[in-house]
Amino acid sequence: MKKECIAMLLAGGQGSRLHALTDKAAKPIIPFGGKYRIIDFPLSNCANSGVDVVGVLTQYQPLHLNSYIGNGQPWDLDLQRGGAYILPPYQSAGAKGEWFSGTANAIYQNIDFIEMWEPEYVLVLSGDHIYKMDYSDMLRQHKANKADCSIAVLRVPLEDASRFGIMEVGEEGYISKFVEKPKVPESDLASMGIYIFTWAKLREYLIADENDPSSDKDFGKNIIPSMLSAGEKLWPYRFSGYWRDVGTVQSLWDANMDMLSPTLINLYDRSWPIRSRSPIKPPHYVGENALIENSILTEGCDLRGRVQNSVLGNSVTVFEGAAVLNSVLMPGCVIEMGAVVQYAIIGENARVGSGAVVGSPPNGEDSWGITTCRPDSHIPDGTIVSPGAMIYSNREVKK
- In the predicted model, is pLDDT for residue 91 greater than 70? no
The predicted pLDDT at position 78 comes to 87
Nearest to 232 by CA among 147, 295, 310: 147
- Residue 235 to residues 6, 112, 163, 243, Cα–Cα distance (Å): 19, 27, 21, 19
- In the predicted model, is pLDDT for residue 189 greater than 60? yes
pTM for this structure? 0.93
What 3-state DSSP class applies to 100? coil
Q: Which residue has the higher pLDDT, 215 or 99?
A: 215
383 burial class (0-12, 13-18, 19+ CB within 10 angstroms)? middle
Amino acid making up residue 78: D
In the predicted model, what is the mean pLDDT of residues 324-329? 98
Strands 5-10 and 165-169: unpaired
In the predicted model, what is the mean pLDDT of residues 114-123? 97
Lowest mean pLDDT among 177-191, 192-206, 385-399: 385-399
- In the predicted model, is pLDDT for residue 297 greater than 60? yes
In the predicted model, what is the mean pLDDT of residues 146-154? 98
299 CB-near residues (< 8 Å, 6+ apart): 278, 279, 281, 282, 283, 284, 314, 315
- In the predicted model, is pLDDT for residue 81 greater than 70? yes
Q: How far apart are the first and last CA of the chain?
A: 52
Q: Which residues pair with 177 in a beta bridge?
A: 168
Amino acid making up residue 76: D
pLDDT in tens, 45-72: 999 999 999 999 987 777 788 889 998 9
- In the predicted model, is pLDDT for residue 394 greater than 90? no
- In the predicted model, is pLDDT for residue 395 greater than 50? no
Whether 8 and 122 have beta carbons less than 8 Å apart is answered as yes
Percent of the chain with pLDDT over 70: 95
- Residue 386 to residues 34, 207, 307, 378, 382, Cα–Cα distance (Å): 25, 50, 20, 15, 13
Cα 166 → chain centroid? 20
Rounded CA separation 286/288 (Å) = 7
Whether 132 and 274 have beta carbons less than 8 Å apart is answered as yes
